[in-house]
Amino acid sequence: MMLIVSTALLGLVIALALFFVFQTKSKTSGTPTILLVGPSGSGKTSLFNLWTDVEADTVTSVVPNRCENVPLQISEDGEDTDRFTLVDLPGHEKLEHLTWAEFDPSSNVRAVLFVVDAASGQQKIAAAASQLFKLLLRTENHGINVLILANKCDLFNTMSSSRVKTILETEIGAIRSSKQQSVGEAGSDEAEERAWIGLDGKFQFEDLESVVQVLDGSVKLKKTTKWDKWLSGI
């Protein structure tokens, strides 16, 4: 009897060990991926074309553009370092599910570049905060850093990166409070935790566990040095 129980226990331990090894492997085996996410017209496909030798159409995208082996990290001496799969996702909100599908447990998302048009005005930038909030719920506590690209700094009416940051933080703070209130009413602790990111009080990107920064640039002028440097540090 003892022998049967110990054999069964041993079998269970081996099965569990194999399960965990398989899980860890499937999570890390995909090529590191960098996602281009953000509102329609912000310049994601234009940046994708600049960083790859693909020439995707810069009309409203309806399917993701994908390119493998992109040398996004360039060292000081100009040598290529790591290579990534770069994925440019459509910005239209009806196609948002295509973005969330990239966060499948078998994928290996290293970083997300959230592109906004810094010349599109306060209202449009504030509207982008709701997608950014949903994105941060997926990246926070998963070791995925997020760079917010304040693109189109070549235009006369462009906003500074610190202004873009303030608008997004204020808006995310408001969304976070309203979500907290509604899950609180539903009475589920688990859902409550999932909808909360950051510390109590004013919402700030600095309070998150992942690195979340805003840096300006212009795809049109090929002014991407700040973004390139950020990528070298991830």
Ligand X SMILES: Nc1nc2c(ncn2[C@@H]2O[C@H](COP(=O)(O)OP(=O)(O)OP(=O)(O)O)[C@@H](O)[C@H]2O)c(=O)[nH]1
> How many chain residues interact with Mg ion (CB under 5 A)?
2
For residue 151, the minimal CB distance to Mg ion (Å) is 12
The set of residues, in sequence order, having a beta carbon less than 8 Å from that of 116 and lying 6+ positions away, is 38, 39, 42, 125, 128, 148, 149, 150, 151, 164, 168
For residue 157, the minimal CB distance to ligand X (Å) is 11
Regarding 52 and contact with Mg ion (CB under 5 A), the answer is no
Regarding 61 and contact with Mg ion (CB under 5 A), the answer is yes
Regarding 45 and contact with Mg ion (CB under 5 A), the answer is yes
The interface partner of residue 144, options being Mg ion, ligand X, none and the CB cut-off 5 to 8 Å by kind, is none
Regarding 33 and contact with Mg ion (CB under 5 A), the answer is no
Nearest residue to the partner ligand X, using Cβ:
91
Between 65 and 139, CB nearer to ligand X:
65
Looking at beta carbons, which pairs linking 225-233 to residues 24 or more positions away fall under 8 Å? 227/113, 227/147, 227/149, 228/72, 228/74, 230/147, 231/34, 231/72, 231/73, 231/111, 231/147, 232/73, 232/74, 232/75, 232/81
Integer Cα distance of 23 and 161 in angstroms: 39
Q: Kindly list the strands in the beta sheet with 109-117, ordered across the sheet, starting from the edge strand earlier in the chain.
A: 65-70, 84-88, 33-37, 109-117, 145-151, 212-216
For residue 105, the minimal CB distance to Mg ion (Å) is 26
For residue 152, the minimal CB distance to ligand X (Å) is 4
* Residues in touch with ligand X (CB under 6 A): 40-46, 58, 60-61, 90-92, 115, 151-152, 154-155, 218-220
First CA to last CA distance, the chain: 55
Regarding 49 and contact with Mg ion (CB under 5 A), the answer is no
Between 74 and 95, CB nearer to Mg ion:
95
Q: Which residues bind Mg ion (CB under 5 A)?
A: 45, 61
